[in-house]
Amino acid sequence: MISEYKNILFKVIHLRSIIGYNSLVFALKKTPIIGSLIPDKLYSTTFLKVIYWVFHIIIETFKLFIGKIFGLGIIYLAAFLLSDQYIEHELGMGMSRSAIYGTLGLFFFLVYALCGILIRVPYFNCTTEKEYLVFMLRMDAKKLNDTLIYYDLAKLFIGYVIAGLFAVITGAPFWLWLGIPFLALLIKFLGIGLQIMGFKVRTKFHRSLKISAIAYLIRLSVVLLAIPFFIVFVANGYFIPVIPLVIVTGLIAAAGIWGFTVFLKSDTNIHRRALHDNISRPEIKTTSQYDNTKSFKKIKAKGTVKGDKKGFDYLNALFVKRHWTMLCMKPVVFTIIIAAILILLIGEFIYGYYTRFGSDNCWNMVLTNLVNMVTFRGYDDALLPLGTESAFQFFRYVAQSHLLGMMIPLSIADNSFKTTQAMFINCDNSLMTFSFFKQREKIIKLFDIRLKQLIRLNIGPVIACGLSANLMLFASGGQSYPGEYLVTILVAFLLSVLTSVTWLSLYYLFQPFTTSVIAKGGAYRITSIIIYSVAAIIVWVPMVSYILAPVLLVVTAAYVFFMRKMVYKHAPNTWRIKA
């Protein structure tokens, strides 16, 4: 039996080493510049493999000793320091320092270990080597899991015994030194047993044995919620006397023995099924990323395009109709949230006014200011005159001189990136195989149609942001020059156009998406970073709206013109499926 475990363990470690080495070489080969210099031969260089193997053993040893010793070492250190304090402040009720040390150490360890099993029982996660061994090389899943569990627990035991030596040297009782490692094993078995029982119940109800992410989050929340109580308990000088602690420990140990029997009795099928349902290879994660493309496949076939739209106009209209929810959800939700905030603010103001001055005065104020609004004037009222304090002046300054800041909310509301993803995966990806789709004139025609479409999709957020800025202006005295309200809306619109044309042009000039809709490509990333950085600086530039609007109008026109030229010139070569 032991030699069988030894063989399995050797295979696992060997496989881990090979996977680790090959992954390292693969990652290096994928690194820009360096990658092209690395030959394929590196995969089969024995010398480097040996170096990696040695490195792997060192890491294993580090995990064996340092990790375990460090974890338990902190607990013993805390118990050591606190036991001194308890003696000094006479909190130990006649107990010796060694007994207090032991009690605190055991108490802290129980909390630590129970939190540990609540948060994480990793034995049923199917790592790369487990997947190869069980599902490709047909190794017995239980034997493999048993081997890895025993190996892991052996490391834990040895590490804890070594850590316990330091505790004994600093005054911990002897029972703590040997008791903790055994208790740790039993708590681990308790976790494993509970996990297996959970799987058995799920199997009865024909459910997946996947370790639920939600359950993980719930357990993590429970632990995080419990920690403050624990800290307060200790900080107040309380401690659990020996007898209750021994009883609790005994119960946990008994539960651990139960867990061990459950573990021993578990059959290979449940191990195999659990591993199958918890595959966690990075490659498989890529497949689950592929599943993300499913979110782009929610196409509704309802209706068709009415009217006399033809060619690319027809294509675009159909695309928008069939992807309406996907394209419009974000800007619509953003607009509704902004509208709700504005309504709440106005409502709160009117309610405050009503409670102070009564309903007649309130109606008067509302009607007067509604008239003021539609006639492009500012807030005006005799009972609650315009505020002159610095807050009002600040909002007025922002609404008049920092309109470039609207780029932040507009970028949040903008859905152009996701729209280009949907364009690629559901439309262009297939049409790019047809020659007509690569013709310069047709590319620019579709680009223009799509740009207009993106601008239309952003109209809601543009109006919401423009109205918000105008409301600040209205509440702080109204416009300073005729047409300022309209200028604010115009600025919001131009900023939105800039955002839309940027994303669309990047898509045409770099076509960064793979068939998994993941954006890749160094040039694309660098350009995006530059654009983000420039935008991040520009949003802080103060400029009064009557200067900003004409400047922005010229810049936007020039930018759109330039980007169209770039797309016209380069897109036939750049806008294509990534090979």
Partner 1 sequence: MEFVISHLVKNYGSKQVLKDVDFVFEEGRIYGLLGRNGSGKTTFFNCVNGDIDYNSGSFYFRENKDSEDKTALMPQDIGYLVSTPTVPEFMTGREFLKFFLEVHDEITPDKTIDEYFDYMMVPEDDRDRLLKDYSHGTKNKMQMLLNIIASPKLMLLDEPLTSLDVIIAEEMKNVIRSQKQGKITIFSTHLLDVAVDLCDQIVLLHNGRLEPIDKNDLGDAAFKDKIINALRDADDDQ
User: If binding is defined by CB under 8 A, does position 299 make contact with partner 1?
Assistant: yes
Axis crossing angle, helix 68-88 with helix 97-119, rounded to the nearest 10:
140
Look up tokens 């499926």; give the residue: 577
**Which residue in the set 194, 240, 318, 339 belongs to the binding site for partner 1 (CB under 8 A)?**
318
**Residue 281, SS3 per DSSP:** coil
The least CB distance from residue 442 to partner 1, in Å, is 7
The least CB distance from residue 449 to partner 1, in Å, is 12
- Run of H or E including 480: none
Neighbouring-strand partners of residue 513: 519
Measured in degrees and rounded to the nearest 5, phi and psi for residue 302 equal -65, 125
**Which residue in the set 219, 438, 564, 570 belongs to the binding site for partner 1 (CB under 8 A)?**
438
User: If binding is defined by CB under 8 A, does position 297 make contact with partner 1?
Assistant: yes
**Which residue in the set 2, 33, 243, 301 belongs to the binding site for partner 1 (CB under 8 A)?**
301
User: If binding is defined by CB under 8 A, does position 522 make contact with partner 1?
Assistant: no
Please enumerate in sequence order all residues whose Cβ is within 8 A of that of 9, keeping only pairs 6 or more positions apart, or say none.
Answer: 147, 148, 151
Please enumerate in sequence order all residues whose Cβ is within 8 A of that of 191, keeping only pairs 6 or more positions apart, or say none.
Answer: 116, 117, 121, 259
The rounded distance, in Å, linking the Cα atoms of 166 and 69 is 10
User: If binding is defined by CB under 8 A, does position 36 make contact with partner 1?
Assistant: yes
The least CB distance from residue 507 to partner 1, in Å, is 16
Report which of 273, 243, 230, 245 is spatially closest to residue 142, judged by C-alpha positions: 273
Which region among 113-121, 190-198, 256-264, 428-436 touches partner 1 (by CB under 8 A)? 428-436
Which region among 36-44, 131-139, 149-157, 285-293 touches partner 1 (by CB under 8 A)? 36-44
Neighbouring-strand partners of residue 519: 513
Q: What x/- string results for residues 555 through 574 when contact with partner 1 is judged by CB under 8 A?
A: -----------------xx-
311: region left, alpha or beta (phi > 0 left; psi from -120 to 50 alpha): left
User: If binding is defined by CB under 8 A, does position 577 make contact with partner 1?
Assistant: yes
User: If binding is defined by CB under 8 A, does position 319 make contact with partner 1?
Assistant: yes
The rounded distance, in Å, linking the Cα atoms of 51 and 48 is 5
User: If binding is defined by CB under 8 A, does position 435 make contact with partner 1?
Assistant: yes
* Other residues' Cβ atoms within 10 Å of the Cβ of residue 124: 23
User: If binding is defined by CB under 8 A, does position 288 make contact with partner 1?
Assistant: no
The least CB distance from residue 419 to partner 1, in Å, is 13
The least CB distance from residue 328 to partner 1, in Å, is 15
User: If binding is defined by CB under 8 A, does position 30 make contact with partner 1?
Assistant: no
Instruction: Find out whether 188 and 117 touch, Cβ atoms under 8 Å.
Output: yes
Instruction: Find out whether 566 and 509 touch, Cβ atoms under 8 Å.
Output: yes
Instruction: Find out whether 506 and 528 touch, Cβ atoms under 8 Å.
Output: yes
The least CB distance from residue 427 to partner 1, in Å, is 5
Given the complex with partner 1, which of 49 and 578 has the nearer CB atom?
578
**Which residue in the set 165, 431, 555, 557 belongs to the binding site for partner 1 (CB under 8 A)?**
431
The least CB distance from residue 576 to partner 1, in Å, is 6
User: If binding is defined by CB under 8 A, does position 329 make contact with partner 1?
Assistant: no
The least CB distance from residue 424 to partner 1, in Å, is 11
**Which residue in the set 207, 310, 520, 565 belongs to the binding site for partner 1 (CB under 8 A)?**
310
The least CB distance from residue 439 to partner 1, in Å, is 6
In DSSP notation, 320-380 reads HHHTHHHHHHHHHHHHHHHHHHHHHHHHHHHHHHHHHHHHHHHHHHHHHHHHHHHTT----
Contacts with partner 1, residue ranges (CB under 8 A) = 36, 39-40, 297, 299, 301, 304, 310-312, 314-315, 318-319, 322-323, 426-427, 429-436, 438-439, 442, 572-573, 576-577, 579
